[in-house]
Amino acid sequence: MKLLFSHNETPSIIITMEVDDLPIELEVADALKSGHLMMGTAESCTGGKIASMITSMAGSSEYFTGGVVAYCNEVKHHVLGVSEADLNTFGAVSQPVVEQMARGTMRVLGCDCAVATSGIAGPGGGTPSKPVGTVWIAAAYKERILSECYHFGENPRMENIRLSAEAALRMLLGLIRE
Rounded-to-5 percentages of helix, strand, coil across the chain: 40, 25, 35
pLDDT at 11 over 50: no
What digits encode the pLDDT tens for the residues 45-69?
999 999 999 999 999 999 999 999 9
Give the per-residue pLDDT at 7.
46
pLDDT at 118 over 60: yes
Residues 6+ apart with CB under 8 A from 10: none
Sequence letter at residue 158: M
What digits encode the pLDDT tens for the residues 156-165?
999 999 999 9
Give the per-residue pLDDT at 142.
95
pLDDT at 1 over 60: no
Reported as a pLDDT band with limits 50, 70 and 90, residue 21 is: confident
pLDDT at 33 over 90: yes
Mean per-residue pLDDT, 133-157? 98
Domains, the chain, with CATH or none: 23-177 (3.90.950.20)
pLDDT at 106 over 90: yes
Beta strands 39-43; 113-119: pairing state: parallel
Which is more confidently placed, 75 or 8? 75
Mean per-residue pLDDT, 108-123? 98
pLDDT at 13 over 90: no
Question: What is the rounded CA–CA span in Å between residue 70 and residue 64?
Answer: 18
Phi, psi of 31 (to 5 degrees): -65, -40
